Amino acid sequence: MERFSRSWWLASVLVLAAFGLAGCGGAAGPGVVSPSPSASPSPSSSGSPTAPSGADPSNGDDPWDGEVTAEAEVMAQELPVPWGIAPLPGGRFLVTMRDDATLAVVHPSGDVEPLDVSGGAQEVADQTMPGGEGGLLGVAVDPEDTGPTFTVFLYRTGAADNAVLRAELDLDGMTLRDVTTILDGIPSASNHNGGRIALGPDGYLYVATGDAGNPANAQDPESLGGKILRVTTDGEPAPGNPDPGSPVWSLGHRNVQGLGWDASGRMFASEFGQNELDELNVIEAGGNYGWPDVEGPGERAGFVDPVAWWPTSEASPSGIAVTDDAVYLAALRGERLWRVPLLGTAQDVADGESPGFGEPQELLAGEYGRLRAVQAGDDGELFVLTGNTDGRGEPASEDGRVVDDRLLRVTLTPAG
Q: β-strand 308-311 against 31-32: which pairing, if any?
A: antiparallel
| SS3 state at 63 | helix
Query: Smallest Cα–Cα separation from 413: which of 385, 383, 384, 380?
Result: 380
pLDDT at 173: 94
Report the C-alpha gap between 374 and 316 in whole angstroms: 14
pLDDT at 37: 33
Report the C-alpha gap between 75 and 409 in whole angstroms: 6
Report the C-alpha gap between 223 and 229 in whole angstroms: 11
Beta-carbon contacts of 400 under 8 Å, excluding residues fewer than 6 positions away, are: none
Q: Which CATH number fits domain 6-414: 1.20.120.10, 2.120.10.30, 3.40.190.10, 3.40.1160.10?
A: 2.120.10.30
Residue pLDDT tens, the chain, 416 long: 322 233 333 333 333 333 333 333 344 578 887 443 333 333 332 233 333 333 343 444 677 878 999 999 999 999 999 999 999 999 999 999 999 999 999 999 999 999 998 889 999 999 999 999 999 999 999 999 999 999 999 999 999 999 999 999 999 999 999 999 999 999 999 999 999 999 999 999 999 999 999 999 999 999 999 999 999 999 999 999 999 999 999 999 999 999 999 988 999 999 999 999 999 999 999 999 999 999 999 889 999 999 999 999 999 999 999 999 999 999 999 999 999 999 987 678 778 787 889 999 999 999 999 999 999 999 999 999 999 999 999 888 877 777 789 999 999 999 97
Report the C-alpha gap between 183 and 62 in whole angstroms: 42
Q: What counts of helices (H) and strands (E) characterise the chain?
A: 4, 27
Length of the chain: 416
Domain boundaries, the chain: 6-414
Phi, psi dihedrals of residue 406, rounded to the nearest 5°? -130, 155
State which amino acid sits at residue 176. L
Instruction: Write the DSSP assignment of 222-286 as a string of letters.
Output: T-STTEEEEE-TTSSBPTT-SSTT--EEEE--SBEEEEEE-TTS-EEEEE--SSSEEEEEEE-TT
pLDDT at 28: 53
Report the C-alpha gap between 98 and 110 in whole angstroms: 20
| SS3 state at 351 | coil
pLDDT at 327: 98
